[in-house]
A and B are shown apart, each in its own frame.
Chain A
């Protein structure tokens, strides 16, 4: 039983969308920013995206090659471990499914790596099946550097720290390897519906 806070009623701004808001989260209208360091800035001419690790041959796309891959626009709800959720956000990107097409791998785990040194780990199953994208547009506009531009991973069914900003590639691995926040006290998988915020949740 949780402790009742005398006199607390709450604002209950988001009761209408309650079934879409995971436990402990509340809906916001703005788009807060959270990152561990300064915002990296890489010119598109130097940008590339790679799949490395457990596969026959690493694959790399330049920005132009990457942008020629089939992309899609999706509307999803996003949930940050710092307690805010934002509903119906619109993103355009290439699904990781598309990127992994034709890649033969026995790897069960993946680590996304980024400019600035950030990493995050996920089971490959969380990346496949059109539930994860490399997104380059938010709301029809090129993705702001603050929010991870030129491109970020988008895995909306997990807490947003899994949606690595400034992503530059995915390493496919036989073994699970905790990423940046996962080594700093945050949950290894991060399912918001099971409120997996921290180690042991």
Chain B
């Protein structure tokens, strides 16, 4: 497992849905058995291809949420009501059914447990998915690097992996999580309650003297804001890797 980033030719394979986990009202995880999975790195993605009876096809990219150490491949997908592919993956596809995918793809937005620099992860909405693979990889390998996650969601109901993040924080794995809820907050909320800004970043981010490794993922505007704030605060752009989820809303 976790052998290489991309091995030669990427062919289409069938993954069987072993389990469906509803993470939030709009987001589900698909736990897939992929028989010839070559292994992946934390942060990589797959391409999913759907084919209709008449041959019409649609393809989209989805980040891998599971750690390289996991035997199964987990995707976590947000259902966009008017979308073409996501409402099929979250809503139509059932346990025991199969879906075509190929991967792993991408050798840049990846984190390896051997990297001992302090790690700063900044995620907006479903942008948490590849960051979660890194967090799970970190926990599975008991990696040395301390990790801080700044995670922006609309409301408490929209926080993906809420319980697992709380558990990993409590377990003293070296993970600290700061949540911000941008639209609504439950009574007694003690996290941030606004869109990511300079003050928040200054409070959560590692001081620049620590020369951290930074991964930022989410909608384009979110990634632009977060990465600009870090560069303005003196971070070297070379420390920062970004992934933008393109046409997704949110």
Interface residues of A (CB under 8 A from B): 2-13, 23-24, 26, 28, 30, 32-40, 80, 82-84, 116-117, 146, 180-181, 183-185, 197-201
Contacts and interface: CB of A to CB of B under 8 A. Distances in A.
B237 A116 contact: yes
Given A4-B52, A5-B50, A36-B109, A200 B237 contact: no
Contacts, number: 124
Nearest to A117: B238
Contacts of B109: 36
Chain A contact residues: helix, strand, loop or mixed = loop
A132 B10 CA distance: 29
B6 interface: yes
Interface in B6-48: 6, 8-10, 12, 14, 47
A72 B5 CA distance: 41
A193 B153 CA distance: 38
B50 A8 contact: yes
B133 to A, nearest CB: 16
Q: Which size bracket describes the interface of B in this complex? A: 35 or more
Contacts of B98: 3
A184 B56 contact: no
A8 B246 CA distance: 23
Given A117-B238, A201-B9, A201-B10, A5 B227 contact: no
Given A7-B92, A13-B84, 6 more contacts: A37-B241, A40-B237, A82-B61, A83-B60, A116-B237, A200-B9
Q: Which of A8, A24, A26, A39 has the most CB of B within 10 A?
A: A8
A39 B228 contact: yes
Given A10-B50, A11-B84, A36 B242 contact: yes
A34 B244 contact: yes
Nearest to B246: A32
B108 interface: yes
| Most chain B beta carbons < 10 A, residue from A39, A80, A180 | A39
A35 B10 contact: no
Interface of B: 5-6, 8-10, 12, 14, 47, 49-53, 55-61, 83-84, 88, 92-93, 97-100, 105-109, 220, 224, 227-228, 230-231, 237-238, 240-242, 244, 246-247
**Most A Cβ at <10 Å: residue of B14, B50, B83:** B50
A28 B231 CA distance: 31
A184 B5 contact: yes
27 contacts: A2-B51, A2-B55, A2-B100, A3-B14, A3-B98, A5-B51, A5-B93, A8-B58, A10-B57, A10-B84, A26-B58, A28-B247, A33-B244, A35-B242, A36-B108, A37-B227, A37-B241, A38-B230, A38-B231, A38-B237, A39-B224, A146-B220, A184-B6, A185-B6, A197-B47, A198-B6, A199-B8
Which of A26, A38, A146: most chain B Cβ within 10 A? Answer: A38
B246 A2 contact: no
A32 B60 CA distance: 14
A83 B53 CA distance: 21
Pairs A-B, 10 closest by C-beta atoms: A200-B9, A38-B227, A185-B6, A184-B107, A32-B246, A11-B84, A2-B51, A5-B50, A33-B220, A24-B59
